[in-house]
Amino acid sequence: AQSVTQLGSHVSVSEGALVLLRCNYSSSVPPYLFWYVQYPNQGLQLLLKYTSAATLVKGINGFEAEFKKSETSFHLTKPSAHMSDAAEYFCAVSPLRDKIIFGSGTRLSIRP
C-alpha cells in the first residue's frame, strides 16, 4: 500500500537557520510527490512537486526538495528560515495519478 511518513510532528528552528522537514514514502509504482503548506486558518497550498523529471525540485518561498529513490525520501529544505515560514507542512504521494495520500503533517515553528 502507498503511504507517506513524516518524521517529527513538530520542528522548531531559529530564524535564519536551515529548515529540514523529513518525508519518506512507500509506493509500488513511480510516484508523484508533493509538499503542501497550510498557514493558520487557511487551506493547503502547493509548495512544490516531483513528477519524475529533475530529482531536485524548487518550489515557492525558497523551499526545495530532493527525490532520492534509493532512500525512498523526499525531504524539504530551506537554507534560511523566516518568521513567515511558520506553518504546517504536509508531504504527499500520488501513486495512482488521481488520489493523493497525505502525511500527518509537521508543524514548523520559528524562534526569533
Binding site for other proteins (CB under 8 A): 32, 34, 36, 42-46, 49, 51, 90, 94, 97-100, 102, 104-105
Least Cβ distance, residue 41 to other proteins (angstroms)? 8
Three-class DSSP category at 23 = strand
> Hey, what's the cell of 82?
523566516
* For other proteins, the closer CB: 81 or 90: 90
Residue 41 CB coordination number (10 Å): 5
Q: Please give the torsion angle defined by the CA atoms of residues 97, 93, 19 and 77, in that order, rounded to the nearest 10 degrees.
A: -50
* For other proteins, the closer CB: 72 or 94: 94
Least Cβ distance, residue 88 to other proteins (angstroms)? 10
